[in-house]
C-alpha cells in the first residue's frame, strides 16, 4: 500500500475488534475533546394507589389513579387477598392471601400476573413490607405461637426471626435508609408503636397507636390512634415529638400511607357509611374520597416513583452537522458511538468514534478522514468471541 492514501485501520476496544475500512489520508486528532452537554432526565409522577376491596364478595387487590380514575382489578379468586406492598422499583406487589387455606405471603407482578407463594407454614403470615433496596421482606407470623416480626429475602429464602420479646408484634414498616423498623406491639392491653434496629436490637417505645408509616424523607411518621375517641390519623416527628391530629371525621380512619413525594397521605375511612379510600394533604387539608361503592375498600399503598431506567442523556457536536449511526454497549457497561462529523472534519464528513463510560462520560474519541466523505454506516457482529465490525 506504499504511495496509496487509503489505509486499513484496526482498533481494539472493549467489545472485541472494531474494524474500520475507510478512505483517508491519516488519523486526525480532533480539534477539541468533546465533553458534550448533559440533558437532565426527570422522573415521571406515579399517582397510583393499590388497595383491597370486597366489592366482588371477597377481598381482592385493585389499582386506582389518585384522582379516582382507571380502576383495575389485579387478583380474582374466591379467597381473600390483603395488605398490598409495592417493591421499591414498582414492578411487583407483595401481599397476604389465604388462597391455599391459610394466610401466606405472596408476590406478583405489578399487573397482577405471575403470582408466587413465598412462605409455606400453617400459621398466619401477614403484613409484608419491602426493604428500600428491594432485597428483603419483613412480615409477621405466629408460627411460634405468638405473633412476631420475621424477615426473608425477596424470593422467600433466608428466613430469620427479628422479635422475641414475649409480646405480640406485627405491622413492620422500614425506615427509608433500611436501618430501622417501626412496628406495633400489644403491651399493657394497648396497641403501641415501637422502633428497633433491623436486626431486632434497641427496641424502644415511640407512641400509643398502630399502622405506622415513615415519610419518604424519614422525618415524620403517620399512624392511627384512638386516643381521642374513634381511630383517627395522626402524624409526629420520627422520634415521637410534635404530635398532630390530621383527621376529624368522627368515625374510623385507618392505615395511612405517605405519597412518594411526602405531600399527601392515603387512608381508608368509614365516614361515608362504609370503607372508602381517601387522600388528603400531609397537613390534613383537602381530604377527598377516591372510591365509592357498596363494598369495603381498605389498606391503601401508594405506588413508589421508581428511578428512571434512563438516567442520563448527552449530546456531542459542534456548530455544523454531526450525526450518529452506530451505538453499541460494551462489556464494561459503557458505549461505543460511531458517526460522522462536519464540525471537526478536514473537509466534508469525517468518521467520529467516541467511547463513553456507563454514565455517558467520554473516555476517548477519534476522528478519521480525508477531503472526501467518510461515514460510519452500521455495525456487524462476526463469529468468534466478542468481535464486531463497523461498516464505513
For residues 140 and 266, state if they share a domain.
Answer: yes
* 41/28 Cα distance (integer angstroms): 34
Unique residue bearing C-alpha cell 471537526: 344
For residues 95 and 231, state if they share a domain.
Answer: yes
Cell of 293: 361503592
Residue 107 lies in a domain: yes
**Are the CB atoms for 80 and 114 separated by under 8 Å?**
no
For residues 193 and 290, state if they share a domain.
Answer: yes
Residue 164 lies in a domain: yes
For residues 348 and 294, state if they share a domain.
Answer: no
For residues 206 and 315, state if they share a domain.
Answer: no
Look at residues 53, 118, 43 and name the one whose alpha carbon lies nearest to residue 83. Answer: 53
CATH of the domain at 152: 2.120.10.30
Domain boundary among 302, 333, 351: 302
* Long-range contacts of 375-380, Cβ-Cβ distance < 8 Å, separation of 24 or more: 375/323, 375/325, 375/339, 375/340, 375/349, 375/351, 376/325, 376/326, 376/338, 376/339, 376/340, 376/351, 377/325, 378/325, 378/326, 379/326, 379/328, 379/338
Could you read off the pLDDT of 5-48 as tens digits, one per residue?
333 333 333 333 333 333 333 444 444 445 556 565 555 456 89
For residues 205 and 335, state if they share a domain.
Answer: no
For residues 321 and 372, state if they share a domain.
Answer: yes
Domain boundary among 274, 302, 330: 302
The DSSP element (H or E) to which 102 belongs, if any, is: none
Per-residue pLDDT of the chain (392 residues; tens, 9 = 90+): 444 333 333 333 333 333 333 333 344 444 444 555 656 555 545 689 999 999 999 999 999 999 999 999 999 999 999 999 999 999 999 999 999 999 999 999 999 999 999 999 999 999 999 999 999 999 999 998 899 999 999 999 999 999 998 899 999 999 999 999 999 999 888 899 999 999 999 999 999 999 999 998 999 999 999 999 999 999 999 988 999 999 998 889 999 999 999 999 999 999 888 899 999 999 999 999 999 998 999 999 999 987 655 566 777 777 777 777 678 778 777 888 878 777 777 777 777 788 888 777 888 888 877 666 665 555 544 444 444 444 44
For residues 188 and 68, state if they share a domain.
Answer: yes
Residue 1 lies in a domain: no
Which pLDDT belongs to residue 37?
A: 61
Residue 2 lies in a domain: no
For residues 57 and 198, state if they share a domain.
Answer: yes
Residue 366 lies in a domain: yes
Instruction: List, edge to edge, every strand of the sheet that includes 362-368.
Output: 27-28, 362-368, 350-356, 335-341, 322-329
Structural domain span for residue 356: 7-41+310-391
Average pLDDT over the chain, rounded to an integer? 83
Cβ-in-10-Å burial (0-12, 13-18, 19+) of 338 comes to: buried
Q: How many domains does the chain have?
A: 2
Residue 382 lies in a domain: yes
- Pair type for strands 16-22 and 388-391: parallel
For residues 224 and 364, state if they share a domain.
Answer: no
Domain boundary among 240, 272, 302: 302
For residues 65 and 165, state if they share a domain.
Answer: yes
For residues 257 and 355, state if they share a domain.
Answer: no
Amino acid at each position: 500500500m506504499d504511495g496509496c492514501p487509503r489505509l486499513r485501520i484496526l482498533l481494539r476496544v472493549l467489545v472485541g475488534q472494531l474494524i474500520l475500512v475507510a478512505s483517508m489520508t491519516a488519523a486526525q486528532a480532533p480539534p477539541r475533546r468533546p465533553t458534550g452537554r448533559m440533558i437532565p432526565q426527570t422522573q415521571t409522577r406515579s399517582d397510583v394507589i393499590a388497595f383491597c376491596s370486597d366489592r366482588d364478595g371477597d377481598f381482592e387487590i385493585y389499582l386506582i389513579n389518585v384522582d379516582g380514575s382507571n380502576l383495575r382489578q389485579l387478583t380474582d379468586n374466591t379467597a381473600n387477598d390483603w395488605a398490598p406492598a409495592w417493591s421499591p422499583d414498582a414492578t411487583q406487589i407483595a401481599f397476604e392471601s389465604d388462597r391455599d387455606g391459610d394466610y401466606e405471603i405472596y408476590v406478583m407482578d405489578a399487573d397482577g400476573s405471575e403470582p408466587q407463594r413465598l412462605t409455606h407454614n400453617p400459621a398466619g403470615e401477614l403484613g409484608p413490607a419491602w426493604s428500600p433496596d428491594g432485597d428483603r421482606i419483613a412480615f409477621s407470623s405466629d408460627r411460634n405461637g405468638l405473633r412476631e416480626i420475621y424477615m426473608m429475602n425477596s424470593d422467600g429464602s433466608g428466613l430469620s426471626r427479628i422479635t422475641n420479646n414475649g409480646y405480640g408484634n406485627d405491622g413492620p414498616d422500614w425506615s427509608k435508609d433500611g436501618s430501622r423498623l417501626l412496628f406495633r406491639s400489644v403491651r399493657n392491653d394497648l396497641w403501641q408503636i415501637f422502633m428497633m434496629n433491623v436486626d431486632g436490637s434497641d427496641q424502644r417505645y415511640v407512641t400509643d397507636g398502630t399502622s405506622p408509616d415513615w415519610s419518604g424523607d424519614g422525618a415524620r411518621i403517620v399512624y392511627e390512634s384512638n386516643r381521642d375517641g374513634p381511630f383517627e390519623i395522626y402524624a409526629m416527628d420520627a422520634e415521637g415529638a410534635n404530635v398532630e391530629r390530621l383527621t376529624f371525621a368522627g368515625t374510623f380512619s385507618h392505615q395511612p400511607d405517605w405519597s412518594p413525594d411526602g405531600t399527601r397521605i392515603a387512608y381508608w375511612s368509614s365516614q361515608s357509611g362504609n370503607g372508602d379510600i381517601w387522600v388528603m394533604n400531609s397537613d390534613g387539608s383537602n381530604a377527598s374520597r377516591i372510591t365509592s361503592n357498596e363494598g369495603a375498600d381498605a389498606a391503601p399503598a401508594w405506588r413508589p416513583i421508581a428511578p428512571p431506567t434512563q438516567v442520563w442523556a448527552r449530546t456531542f457536536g459542534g456548530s455544523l452537522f454531526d450525526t450518529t449511526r452506530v451505538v453499541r454497549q460494551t462489556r464494561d457497561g459503557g458505549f461505543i458511538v460511531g458517526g460522522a462529523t462536519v464540525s471537526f472534519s478536514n473537509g466534508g464528513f469525517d468518521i467520529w468514534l467516541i467511547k463513553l463510560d456507563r454514565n455517558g462520560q467520554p473516555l476517548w474519541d477519534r476522528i478519521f478522514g480525508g477531503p472526501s466523505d467518510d461515514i460510519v454506516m452500521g455495525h456487524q457482529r462476526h463469529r468468534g468471541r466478542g468481535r464486531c465490525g463497523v461498516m464505513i
